[in-house]
Amino acid sequence: MPIGQRAYLEKIMNMRRDYSNTCLDLRADIDGRRLLQRKYQRSLGSPGNYFNAQSGNSWLGTRQLPHGELDVLTIGEVVIDLISTEETSSLHDARTFRLYQGGSPANIACYVTKLGGRAALISKAGADVWGDFLVEELRQAGVLTDYLVLDPTTQTTVIFISRTSGTADSLALRNADYQLTPEEISVAAIRRARVVHASTFALSREPARSAVERAFQLARANGKFISLDPNYNPTVWPEREEALAVLRRLFPYVTFTKPSWDDAQRLFGPGKTAEEYVVRYHELGAEVVVFTQGERGMLLSYHGEQWALPAHPVEVVDATGAGDAFWAGFLLAVLDGNTLQRAMLFARQVVERTLRVVGPLREPLDRELLYAELER
């Protein structure tokens, strides 16, 4: 056989071998993830004394868990967070700041990977030193950055945040985050995901608003769970009536939403009970509402029924990112086949670990251990 032909055949054989190895690796990853999910499901016990386990199964019993190689695809802002080193509820009293990767959707993706899940982010940052920093931080956290756009025509968004155990004061210098366009929403990314998540922060300006709406439409068409963080803030979106109109259009797509007491008061005004606020979110179109109340605990509502979960006493070092940690824990627990109530218990454990550190939690969390702790 001529030397050239032999070399060509050897090249073809190597390509086939590499392809086969890739397929085996992919199959091993998929089988491993299925085994992990079955293990979590086998370990499920009673969801605790707060809930009725049978009623807790009623929601999941009517739904099929979505398929996909990505557990969670988040859409929206990835930003530079500058968190004050001083503990204060007001930026007026802050003088020095420390740099972190931030943005609620990006943080949720990071927490998903810290819990052993797979996550990707669709977002936009500037093609600048801050954008490079964010890409590196996300990759180190294990987040897929294939759909993160670095735009040389704009600058990365920066947000100043006060470090506090309560609701933080913030100042956003917005640029790239809201310039994500509908054309930059990857259909392939949506199809790969089991849950598609976005924030109200991203809905506050065009074209990002239309980008999120397109993502929700694609997610609904592909049978995905959809979650929306209703983190409305009038300093970011002063036109409250416009915000309500946009949310009325988007919420009918939404499977899960998790408003806080502050979110609800900002959007609907003060003076209502937690139960009344929950009803308002259902009226917007949300199917499942988890209403968080800080030290007063949480309220779960779906299909016209509500359950209360008290908070655990915990020493709070910094509340920044606690809501993002809850989202990651809750969504993964639902995807593991837990009841909604048990998913809340699991998410609460994740939050308690987050509250003990300044800024985002950097160490991985043992998901199996957290489940085991629910049995104690």
Q: Quick check: pTM over 0.75?
A: yes
Query: Would you state the pLDDT for residue 58?
Result: 60
CA atoms within 13 A on the CB side of 244: 12
For residue 98, being part of any structural domain is answered with no
Res. 37: pLDDT tops 50: no
The string of DSSP letters for 223-241 reads: T-EEEEE----TTT---HH
Q: Are strands 288-292 and 298-302 parallel, antiparallel or unpaired?
A: antiparallel
Contacts of 319 (CB under 8 A, 6+ apart): 164, 165, 166, 167, 168, 355
Look at 5-14, 123-132, 165-174 and tell me which has the smallest mean pLDDT.
5-14
Between these two residues, 11 and 197, which has the higher pLDDT value? 197
For 173-208, b where at least 16 C-beta lie within 10 A, e where not — what string? ebbbbbbbebebbbeebbbbbbbbbbbbbbbbeebb
Query: According to the model, what pLDDT value does residue 271 have?
Result: 95
The answer to whether residue 228 is domain-embedded is: yes
Which of 14 and 78 is assigned the larger pLDDT?
78
Residue 61 clears pLDDT 80, i.e. is over it? no
Range name among 11-20, 76-85, 186-195, 227-236 with the lowest pLDDT average: 11-20
Calpha distance 120→109 (Å, rounded): 6
Q: What share of the chain is helix, strand, coil (3-state, %, to 5)?
A: 50, 20, 30
Report if residue 51 sits inside a domain. yes
Residue 189: HSE in the Cβ half-sphere, 13 Å Cα cutoff: 24
The residue among 312 and 286 whose pLDDT is bigger is 286
pLDDT number for residue 358? 67
Q: In what order do the strands lie in the sheet with 79-87?
A: 97-102, 79-87, 158-163, 170-173
Helix 129-141 vs helix 104-114: crossing angle, to nearest 10: 30
**Is 94 contained in some domain?**
no
Q: Let me know if residue 119 belongs to a domain.
A: yes
Confidence of residue 16 (pLDDT cuts 50, 70, 90): very low
Per-residue tokens: 298:
């949480």
| Average pLDDT score over the chain | 86
SS3 182: helix
For the stretch 330-362, pLDDT in tens is 999 999 999 999 999 999 999 888 877 766 677
Per the structure, the complete domain to which residue 193 belongs is given by: 43-77+104-153+176-374
pLDDT score at 33:
46
115 is a domain residue: yes
Q: Is residue 308 part of a domain?
A: yes
- pLDDT of 153 reads 98
Instruction: Identify any residues that bridge with 195 across adjacent strands, giving them in sequence order.
Output: 72, 225
Question: pLDDT tens digits for 252-282?
Answer: 999 999 999 999 999 999 999 999 999 999 9
Give the per-residue pLDDT at 141: 96
pLDDT above 50 (res 328)? yes
- Is residue 159 in some structural domain? no
Residue 126 has pLDDT above 70, yes or no: yes
pLDDT for the residue 360: 67
- pLDDT over threshold 90, residue 106: yes
Over residues 171-179, mean pLDDT:
96
Tell me if residue 72 falls in helix, strand or coil.
strand
Residue from 300, 305, 307 nearest 326 by CA: 300
In the sheet that holds 305-309, the strands lie side by side as: 148-151, 119-126, 70-75, 193-199, 225-229, 256-257, 288-292, 298-302, 305-309
What is the number of domains present in the chain? 1
* b/e 328-361 (16+ beta carbons within 10 angstroms → b): bbbbbbbbbbbbbbbbbbbbbbbbbbbbeeebbb
Instruction: Say what the pLDDT of residue 57 is.
Output: 53
Q: What is the pLDDT of residue 174?
A: 97
Confidence band, pLDDT 50/70/90 cuts, at residue 230: very high
Domain with residue 254: its CATH number is 3.40.1190.20
Give first-to-last CA distance, the chain, whole Å: 70
For residue 319, pLDDT beyond 90: no
Q: Give pLDDT tens digits for 65-100.
A: 999 999 999 999 999 999 999 999 899 999 999 999
